[in-house]
């Protein structure tokens, strides 16, 4: 196990979950709330964590896209049991939900006032309740991220952003991802890759984040197909988790149009859509849209990922989607063209829209949605 101190304290490596009791003690938690979901209950991981924390209470009804209603339900459990911190176990959804609970445990409602687009960044203080994040997928990077994506009662999916929302400690144990189903391995891994690519291409000046993102993109690209094919390959799982962590460490620099659209799509009441799958679908289209605006960055990305200089990165991403089974367009996932206006309006208002390297108009977003509406084209070497 290694201790990485960067943005927060990170215990990384096989077996690092054994550090949980000491992490709870060092963060002065006595009665933590475990926030997770029913899928992880079925795997036995929740019990494994709870057995180490005899004074913990559990909230296990995290939806796939965390909502304001779920935040308030978990908050009620937190207050009723006099909890003093949160253990977030799972992918991005439980971790984002935990951030919402930690915020409202110490800040007055309503939740909406803390959204970034409404000036909420300055309203979030250091009084946020402590969180220990334990990711069980190699995808979102939420364990070291300063943002939470939460869907309000009226369907708006908003970003809540503050350095005070970064978990006090992260325990990144690749053992917890062994045997993750291939489909979820693919979707979460491509989510992490989208973080690295969009961060690197963001026009904001942050060369440190860019270096981290480039390295993360290479690790994910080299190992995702291996982990997809063999869920028990620990070296590949370790590299994927490190790449996902690097995506989370770097996306403080800002994301782009992939996330502006996927956040909007994720806010739909129906259908319920997986964030990583959406990012995978949108990435080739957005990379092509941005290609002329990023200059040498496109060449640097291909070099870091081990691609030939002449290779088309957008097509390479599409080909990887095919190999990983990300073959369905938005229509097959249940999205209707009649929803495009709603999606575009929210994408234009999303905090990731402003940091796309090429300014995107509503018509540009409509073109992107049309490009991924039907089933994707077949894999090609061109």
With residue 6 as reference, give the H or E element that holds it: strand 2-6
Digit-coded pLDDT (tens) for 176-227:
999 889 999 999 999 999 999 999 999 999 999 999 999 999 999 999 999 9
Specify the domain boundaries for CATH 3.40.50.1970 within the chain: 2-176
Token pair recorded at residue 253: 């620099």
CB 87 within 8 A of CB 49: yes
Question: What is the predicted pLDDT for the residue at 252?
Answer: 85
CATH number listed for the domain at residues 2-176: 3.40.50.1970
Digit-coded pLDDT (tens) for 276-322:
999 999 999 999 999 999 999 999 999 999 999 999 999 999 999 99
**CB proximity list for 98: less than 8 A, separation 6 or greater:** 35, 74, 86, 87, 88, 131, 133, 167
Give the predicted TM-score (pTM) of the model: 0.91
Question: What is the predicted pLDDT for the residue at 139?
Answer: 85
Specify the domain boundaries for CATH 1.20.1090.10 within the chain: 180-371
pLDDT band at 155 (very low <50, low <70, confident <90, very high): confident
User: Is the pLDDT at 381 greater than 50, yes or no?
Assistant: no
Separation between Cα atoms, residue 184 and residue 176, nearest integer Å: 14
Question: What is the predicted pLDDT for the residue at 267?
Answer: 83
Token pair recorded at residue 256: 């782009």
Q: Per the omega criterion (within 30 degrees of 0), is the bond before 45 cis?
A: no
Question: Which homologous superfamily is 180-371 in?
Answer: Dehydroquinate synthase-like - alpha domain (1.20.1090.10)
**CB proximity list for 186: less than 8 A, separation 6 or greater:** 224, 228, 276, 280, 324, 325, 326
């Amino acid at each position: 196990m290694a201790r990485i101190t960067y943005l927060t304290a990170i215990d990384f490596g096989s077996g690092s979950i054994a550090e949980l009791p000491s992490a709870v003690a060092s963060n002065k938690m006595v009665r933590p709330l475990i926030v997770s979901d029913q899928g992880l209950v079925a795997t036995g991981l929740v019990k494994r964590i709870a057995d180490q924390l005899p004074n913990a209470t559990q909230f296990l009804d995290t939806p796939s896209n965390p909502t304001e209603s779920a935040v308030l339900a978990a908050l009620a459990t937190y207050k009723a049991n006099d909890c003093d911190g949160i253990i977030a176990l799972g992918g991005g959804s439980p971790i984002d939900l935990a951030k919402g609970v930690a915020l409202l445990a110490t800040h007055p409602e309503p939740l909406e006032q803390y959204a970034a687009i409404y000036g909420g960044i300055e309203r979030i203080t250091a009084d946020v309740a402590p969180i220990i994040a334990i990711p069980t997928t190699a995808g979102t990077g939420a364990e070291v991220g300063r943002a939470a994506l939460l869907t309000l009662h009226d369907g708006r999916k908003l970003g809540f952003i503050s350095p005070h929302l970064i978990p006090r400690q992260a325990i990144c144990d690749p053992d917890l991802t062994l045997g993750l189903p291939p489909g979820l391995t693919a979707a979460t891994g491509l989510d992490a890759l989208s973080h690295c690519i969009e961060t690197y291409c963001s026009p904001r000046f942050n060369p440190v984040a860019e270096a981290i993102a480039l390295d993360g993109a290479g690790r994910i690209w080299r190992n995702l197909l291996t982990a997809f094919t063999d869920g028990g390959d620990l070296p590949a799982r370790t590299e994927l988790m490190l790449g996902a962590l690097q995506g989370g460490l770097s996306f403080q620099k800002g994301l782009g149009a992939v996330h502006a659209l996927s956040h909007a799509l994720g806010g739909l009441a129906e259908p319920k859509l997986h964030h990583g799958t959406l990012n995978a679908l949108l990435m080739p289209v957005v990379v092509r849209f941005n290609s002329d605006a990023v200059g040498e960055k496109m060449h640097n990305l291909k070099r870091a990922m081990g691609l030939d200089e002449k290779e088309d990165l957008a097509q390479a991403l599409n080909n990887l989607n095919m190999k990983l089974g990300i073959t369905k367009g938005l229509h097959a996932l249940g999205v209707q063209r009649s929803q495009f206006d709603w999606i575009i309006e929210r994408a234009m208002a999303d905090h990731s829209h402003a940091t796309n390297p090429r300014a995107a108009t509503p018509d540009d977003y409509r073109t992107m949605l049309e490009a991924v509406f039907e089933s994707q084209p077949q894999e090609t070497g061109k």
